[in-house]
Amino acid sequence: MLTRPPVEIMLDDGFWDELVEGGFRDVCVSWMAFLKEVQSGEHLPSHEEARPRVLSYFEDKSDQFQYVPIINPDYSLYDGLTLNPPTRSDEFDSIFGELRDSFKRAKEKGINLYLFDDKSYFEISGYPAGSEGDRGFSCWNNPEVAEYLVARTRDYVNQLPMFSGIVLDGPDYKWEIAPGERDDLFAEFCACDHCQNAAREMGLDLMKLIDALATFKLELQQLDDEKVR
């Protein structure tokens, strides 16, 4: 079973009891982040999180939140990297302790816990910061990203040793062609130097591929009923 935010609902033993009663023994905890109410942030819950326990959690709260990473990093694990892990304030130390204890109880109830590698960052707030301090997606073709991910995995396992393993998410294949759709086939292209170098090693010109896709996108979006027949 794959869980989604808010992780705060896991503090209640009833959460784990329900899973055990439902026959679940393997639970993958994804997008691990605490939620902080803010004036301007992400509107939650989304339709994907609209479940009774989740809706109950949001009942007396605002609808805008900031994601906060659940762990504070052990910087010694990231020595030599220009990518830096996210941090959180000490105000979340107490709830982190509660969450860790909750994971221990889940393990005692016979549940196997797994980290979820959602495109390589474990938690929605976990994007590393580059040398300029900017925080966001870092290309997988950057060799340092792999080193960062190994360090990040060790950091989580050291602080949450009750986790049994890690579930690797697959490529985020898209299928929509309408602009603005969440799964817009043409929305995510990386043309950084690392990607261009990787393409060259395969005998490809990445920029020509992207130009060809742009032409194909336009052709698809100009289709009408007459052309499709």
On whether both 59 and 163 belong to a single domain, the answer is: yes
Domain termination residue (choose one: 170, 202, 219)? 170
**Alpha-carbon span 39 to 178, nearest angstrom:** 31
In one letter, which amino acid is 159? Q
CA distance 17 to 111: 10
Q: Same domain for 23 and 55?
A: yes
- DSSP, collapsed to helix, strand or coil, labels residue 84 as strand
The reply to whether the predicted model has a pTM over 0.75 is: yes
104 lies in the same domain as 19: yes
Report residue 197 CA to chain centroid gap.
Answer: 26
Are residues 188 and 162 both part of a single domain?
no
CA dist 173 and 228 (Å) reads: 24
The range of the structural domain enclosing residue 212 comes to 174-229
Q: Which two tokens stand for residue 171?
A: 């490529």
Of 16, 9, 52, residue with least CA distance to 31? 9
DSSP 183: T
Domains in the chain, number: 2
- Residue 143, preceding bond cis, omega within 30 degrees? no
Q: Based on the fold, state whether residues 34 and 88 are members of the same structural domain.
A: yes
Same domain membership, residue 41 and residue 144: yes
Task: With H, G, I as helix, E, B as strand and everything else as coil, classify residue 115.
Answer: strand
Regarding whether 164 and 218 lie in a shared domain, the answer is no
- DSSP letter string over 9-22? GGGSHHHHHHHHHT
Are 146 and 211 found together in one domain? no
Whether residue 147 is found in the same domain as residue 93: yes
**Other C-beta atoms lying within 10 Å of the C-beta of residue 213:** 13
- Output the DSSP codes for 32-83: -EEEEEEEEEEE---GGG--HHHHHHHTTS-SEEEEEESS---GGGGTT-SS
> Among 151, 170, 189, which residue terminates a domain?
170
Continuous H helices in 39-160: 52-58, 93-108, 143-159
Q: Say if CB 208 and CB 197 are below 8 A apart.
A: no
Q: Same domain for 114 and 196? A: no
Same-domain pairing of 138 and 184 = no
Task: Please say which residue of 170, 185, 207 terminates a domain.
Answer: 170
Please indicate, yes or no, whether residues 63 and 131 belong to a single structural domain of this protein: yes
How does pLDDT run along the chain (229 residues), one tens digit per residue? 888 778 888 998 899 999 999 999 999 998 788 888 888 877 877 776 677 777 787 788 887 888 888 889 999 999 999 888 888 889 999 999 999 999 999 999 999 999 886 554 444 555 666 665 566 667 878 888 888 888 988 999 999 999 999 887 766 677 777 777 777 777 777 888 999 999 999 999 999 999 998 898 888 888 888 877 7
